[in-house]
Every structure is written in C-alpha cells, then in structure tokens.
Amino acid sequence: MGVVVRLSSVRVEDGRVVGHDAGATLVRRLLRVFPGSQVIGPVAQECDGFSVVPLEDVWGAVVVNMDVIDSPSLWHTLRLRDPDPQIMNFVWWHPSRYEHRVETACLALSCALFPTFCNSERTATEVRETVAAWTAPHLYERARTAWVNLGVRLDHAQPREEPAVPVVLYPAISLDKRKRPDLFLHVVERVAARTPVRVEARLEESQLVEEPALALSGREWAWVGPLTASRATYWEHLARTTAFLATAWEESYGLAYVEALVAGAVGVFPDRPWVRGVVPPSYPFVYRDADEAEDMLHRAVTDTAACRRELDRAAGGDFQGWLRARHDDDAFDRAVRYWVRQWFGVPVEPLSGPARP
C-alpha cells in the first residue's frame, strides 16, 4: 500500500513541488518521508522522486488529505472504484480558520470519521474539542487523533552573519487579518524612530499590492518584496536577521517563527496561548500590549547579545539546544510513519506507477 498526498493548491513545475508556503513545504516533507509516493493533480506526470496522478486513477492507497474539510466527499469519489478507501486527515492549520457554522460542522464530521494527524498538540486539542461540540457522542468517542510538532530541518540553519544595521523580520508571507500586520507596522515604526533598523517583509506575490504592504514599503527603513527563490536563500537571509516581531492572534504551530529562532533571531511574541507551544514557559520576550512590544523589540535590536543570554537562561542554559530537542522534524517523520502504520494496519510501501487495481 502506497501513499498519495492531496492538496488542491499544490503546484508542480519542472518535476518539483514549488512554493514557499506551509502547504507546499509540507507536501515536500511528506514526499520525503514516503519515497515513491504520489501527489493528486489534474494530469499524470513523472517528477523528481514522485509522480502526479489524477484522482480518478487513485486506488488501493492511503490518501493523506490536507484539504481536510473535503474528506467525506473525497471518500465518496474514491468509493466508486475502491471498496475500502483509506483516508488520513492532516490538519496543518488552526481549526479557527473556519468561522461559518457549516464549515465548522463539516470539519468536525471529517475529523470524527477519518483518522486525523495534527501539526501540534494545540491543534489536536482544538480538533478534539470541535468534534466533541459538533458531532454525536458515538462519533466523538470513536474519533482517532494524533499529533506531533512539525519541527524544522535543523541542518538548513546557516552560520550567523550579524548585519551592520539590525534587521527586523515580518515573520509571515501573507497579510491576513489574524496576523495583525497593522500592529506590526505600528510597533516597528515606533522602534525605527528610536534606533536605526531595516525592516524586511517577504510576501506572496498577491500580497505585495495589499494596503499594509504598500504602507510598509513607503518607509525609508523598510524593504518589501517577493519570496526568496530557494530555501537555501531563505535560510541565508534568516542568518542575517536580528529579530522578528510576531503579532498573529492565532497560530496552529508557527513554523516560520521556529525557523527564525533556530537561525538565531530574537523573537518577540504576543501573550497568546499558541506561543506556549513554541518557546519555554519563562521566555522573556512576550508582550501584552504595543508599548511592551516596542520596548522588547527595541532591546532585541540594540542589546541583542544580552537578549540571547536571557533566552539561554529561560531554557535552562542553552536555548538553541532546547529548540533543537523540541522542534526537530525527525520527530515528525517518525510520528507520521508510525500513525499511518497504526491506523491502516500495514506498512506503507513506495508506489510504482499509477495507484490502480
């Protein structure tokens, strides 16, 4: 039995999954975890280490569905050819993204009917609470949910290169309201009035013409541009990043923040529950309002070495060691393989050719 990955927004170009967003990154990770696996797409093609297969050709495989809300309808489609479709939900975002009651009910039903693997403990808790609140007790009691922190590729981190002028990163690729870009701009503008900084924001192309992006790009101390061309370039930029200001109201895990922390940037976080899954309990740079955010970010860019020593103390002596022990993506690789075996009863083998009977 092989693995087929489904994400409707995935893009495959020149034999590779392209894009720097979390969805594309996780599809690539799943393809690495399950060598020889497939991606559902409109046209069959052979790619670099995997293949693209149309949905109508999928049969006898475990479908890891990242479009979780659609799993019941996906099951019905597969059932036309496969007497026993095998679907695993992969929840890689926070359930609060669905605000309409119909969407929430569909998500709850999907996670009650199909084994669900989550990208963090916080996400798994939210999924269980949603299933409990929106489905019948007999469905909730039979729901199967597991989780692991996504983690990062630790070997991607580059040696630090401290910039002449401190660099502050906008740690997201979109300007969604839940990211609160208006708060980010408000705080960094006040910090820039107190000390020289360079603020950088690398955004998805569609976001570059949004009002917050245009407002930020109009500041002489800011640079706003497209995403880096490669992951290697991305990590090179992180190695020269001094600090970042997180302003999101809600996150399921926070992959971009963990990557920046692993690269050596000092992170300033809002006092929100999701932050507790990213940093140690006594992490010192957690703000309650814009004034605290300004003061913490100012310290991070003017007394960076002292801030890093505080991070070490908060982590029991070695902040980087703490991060690497809790956010290594090897744990994700092991966990997703384990749960596919547990839930579907057989070892997962690479697929060769179309997943047909």
Flag whether 98 is in a domain.
Answer: yes
Whether 260 and 221 share a structural domain: yes
Flag whether 258 is in a domain.
Answer: yes
Among 270, 273, 272, which residue's Cα sits nearest to residue 287? 270
Predicted pLDDT at 356? 40
Flag whether 27 is in a domain.
Answer: yes
Whether 209 and 319 share a structural domain: yes
d(CA 70, CA 14): 28
Predicted pLDDT at 20? 76
Flag whether 7 is in a domain.
Answer: yes
Flag whether 350 is in a domain.
Answer: no
Whether 300 and 182 share a structural domain: yes
The mean of the pLDDT values for the chain is 93
Predicted pLDDT at 346? 65
Whether 209 and 338 share a structural domain: no
d(CA 346, CA 151): 26
Whether 135 and 224 share a structural domain: no
On the 0-12 / 13-18 / 19+ scale of CB atoms within 10 A, 335 is middle
Whether 237 and 112 share a structural domain: no
Q: At what angle do helices 231-239 and 255-262 cross, to 10 degrees?
A: 60
Whether 258 and 144 share a structural domain: no
Model confidence, pTM: 0.85
Flag whether 49 is in a domain.
Answer: yes
Flag whether 266 is in a domain.
Answer: yes
Predicted pLDDT at 353? 45
Among 156, 145, 155, which residue's Cα sits nearest to residue 120? 145
d(CA 320, CA 122): 22
Whether 117 and 243 share a structural domain: no
Whether 92 and 127 share a structural domain: yes
**Number of domains composing the chain:** 2
* Residue spans of the chain under pLDDT 70: 1, 346-357
Range of the domain at 267: 154-327
Whether 203 and 290 share a structural domain: yes
Predicted pLDDT at 230? 84
Predicted pLDDT at 92? 93
CA neighbours closer than 13 Å in the CB half-sphere of residue 44: 10
Whether 164 and 96 share a structural domain: no
Q: Residue 279 maps to which CATH number?
A: 3.40.50.2000
Predicted pLDDT at 354? 43
- pLDDT tens digits, one per residue of 286-319: 999 999 999 999 999 999 999 999 999 999 999 9
Distance spanning both ends of the chain, measured CA to CA: 11
Coarse DSSP helix, strand, coil percentages of the chain, rounded to the nearest 5 percent: 45, 15, 40
Predicted pLDDT at 350? 55
- pLDDT tens digits, one per residue of 134-186: 999 999 999 999 999 988 888 889 999 999 999 999 999 999 999 999 999 99
Flag whether 217 is in a domain.
Answer: yes
Whether 83 and 223 share a structural domain: no
Predicted pLDDT at 357? 42
